[in-house]
Amino acid sequence: MRFGILFPLRCPKGLSLDIMHTISAQHSWIRTLLVLLTVVLLLAGCGREVKENDIGAEQLYTEAKQAMDTRRYEVAITLYKRLTTLYPFGRYAEQAQLDLAYVQYRADRGEDAITTLDRFIRTYPTHPNIDYAWYLKGLVHYGESVSFLRRLFPDQLIDRDQTSARLAFNDFQELTQRYPQSRYVADARQRMVFLRNVLADYEISVARYYLRRGIYVGAVNRAKYVLEMYPNAPAKIDALEVMVKAYTELGLPELASDTRQVLELNLDGATREAPEPEGWLKKLWPFD
């Protein structure tokens, strides 16, 4: 048996380099092709995802709006929340937040509505409907300050805490100052007049309470607050009357006399007759 000696096959030197370059070029081309395919697949996947998201968000928004339009507010709240959770950056998310605040307001969930509106105002300060957000926020606080029964019995308004009334007044004021051209300004101003009168009457009721208790300095301070904060409210006459009485009781005749002169000037030409009784419709909608 013969044993041969195996020698490794050797390519010519030049041929070996050519093969190596060819293999290297092929590898580079394959890597480039793989990168391009990966990019194309990623773009296709993103486009498909965006399209699917739009379809899903649109369907949810349509269902939520239908529920809102048919006054199924709790169903609408659930759907709007699901939409904003699943698609927080979609094209329907912004409007969904405004709609969510509205249905929360209509469902008597005022605190939730305020939270939603505050978040919307912080997140989208330049949104085209930002004026509506401020207006709706004012309506929520207004609804808390003037309930249905309190509209029927407006004389009882001053017996309640006025925090909501002040918040509503501030919200409407923010709207009128920031967006004077807004279509909601006219209604907001009328509500502000009503709230101003309620707040002024509340301060006068406190001032008269102080008079009855002999807290004359406190009565003067409350009356001055009305004159400073609500100078156009009808209660300014009552404020001046309170101040005349308080100064008289405090033994300050000069201040009492000066205040009485101001009071007479304000009464000059103005009628103090009691207004005609308001009808039920006027009490339900106390605006001109």
Tens of pLDDT along 11-55?
454 445 454 455 455 556 566 655 555 544 455 444 444 444 556
How many Cα neighbours within 13 Å face the side chain of 217? 0
Q: How many other C-beta atoms can be found within 10 angstroms of the C-beta atom of residue 232? A: 10
Does residue 145 carry a pLDDT above 90? Answer: no
Provide CB contacts within 8 A for 263, sequence distance 6+: 237, 240, 241, 244
Calculate mean pLDDT across residues 89-101.
90
Q: 200-251, pLDDT tens digit by residue?
A: 999 999 999 999 999 999 999 999 999 999 999 999 999 999 999 999 999 9
Give CA–CA dist 86/63, Å, rounded.
Answer: 15
Percent of the chain with pLDDT over 70: 69
The band of 89, judged by pLDDT with boundaries at 50, 70 and 90, is: confident
Cβ atoms of 60 and 93 within 8 Å: the answer is no
**Which token pair is 38?**
């990966």
Calculate mean pLDDT across residues 159-183.
90
Residue-by-residue DSSP string for 57-72:
HHHHHHHHHHHHHTT-
Question: Look-up: residue for tokens 């300060």?
Answer: 125
Question: Look-up: residue for tokens 């808390």?
Answer: 144
Q: What is the mean pLDDT of the chain?
A: 80
Give CA–CA dist 166/225, Å, rounded.
Answer: 14
The CATH code that applies to domain 30-127 is 1.25.40.10
Q: 254-269, pLDDT tens digit by residue?
A: 999 999 999 999 887 5
pLDDT at 146: 74
pLDDT at 206: 93
pLDDT at 162: 84
Q: Where are the domains of the chain?
A: 30-127
Terminal alpha carbon distance of the chain? 124
Does residue 275 carry a pLDDT above 50? Answer: no
Q: How remote is the C-alpha of 212 from its chain's centroid?
A: 41
**Which token pair is 132?**
């509506």
Give CA–CA dist 28/25, Å, rounded.
Answer: 5
The band of 57, judged by pLDDT with boundaries at 50, 70 and 90, is: confident
Give CA–CA dist 41/39, Å, rounded.
Answer: 5
pLDDT at 68: 94
Give CA–CA dist 223/203, Å, rounded.
Answer: 7
Q: 108-141, pLDDT tens digit by residue?
A: 999 999 999 999 999 999 999 999 999 999 999 9
Question: Look-up: residue for tokens 């590898």?
Answer: 27
Give CA–CA dist 110/112, Å, rounded.
Answer: 5
Give CA–CA dist 5/2, Å, rounded.
Answer: 10
Question: Look-up: residue for tokens 């300004």?
Answer: 185
Name the burial class of residue 56, with classes exposed (0-12), middle (13-18) and buried (19+) by CB atoms within 10 angstroms of its CB: middle
pTM of the model: 0.69
Helix, strand or coil, per DSSP, at residue 232: coil
Cβ atoms of 96 and 59 within 8 Å: the answer is no
